[in-house]
Amino acid sequence: MNSSPSVARSVNEYFKTLSGDTLKKMQQVRQVIREAAPAAEEKISYAIPTFYLHGNLVHFAAFKNHIGFYPGSSGIQAFDKELTSYKRAAGSVQFPLSEPMPINLIKKIVRYRVKENMEAAKQKKKKIS
């Protein structure tokens, strides 16, 4: 992850700790998330950049050899076949810095998570009414 000894208080502050190809790729990921989820709010959660829309939407983080992307287990499961070439866990995937960022795939996953969070918010509102 970023080598800064202190936790960033904002996404911009987090990005200031990055450089070179890592910074460029993190900026690409940030931009594609902004485009796919324009209503989402940026914040730091779990000490990493997070987009929030009726709950956590996705997280992403810079590591020495990869960009970690965290769309939750549903985001990973929904795109299982498209993610087979990447190292992953239940709710995360690693995009190697040595390869181009899979921008279109990230965009699809974020759009999927937006729909999921919007539907969950709608259901929650119905229960309250």
Residue-wise DSSP of 37-90 = -TTPEEEEETTEEEEESSSEEEEEEE-SSEEEEE-HHHHHHHTTGGGTTSEEET
Q: What is the mean pLDDT of the chain?
A: 93
> Is residue 72 included in any domain, yes or no?
yes
pLDDT per residue as tens digits for the range 65-75: 999 999 999 99
What pLDDT score was predicted for residue 5? 42
Residues in the chain: 129
> Is residue 6 included in any domain, yes or no?
no
Q: Give me the percent of the chain exceeding a pLDDT of 90.
A: 87
Average pLDDT on 97-114 reads 97
Average pLDDT on 107-121 reads 96
> Is residue 5 included in any domain, yes or no?
no
**Report field, pTM of the whole predicted structure over 0.85:** yes
Task: Give the total number of structural domains in the chain.
Answer: 1
What pLDDT score was predicted for residue 4? 42
What pLDDT score was predicted for residue 107? 98
CATH of the domain at 67: 3.90.1150.200
Question: Which structural domain range is residue 63 located in?
Answer: 11-128
Q: Six-digit token pair at 78?
A: 């929904």
pLDDT per residue as tens digits for the range 26-65: 999 999 999 999 999 999 999 999 999 999 999 999 999 9
Query: CA-based angle 99:52:73, to the nearest 5?
Result: 60
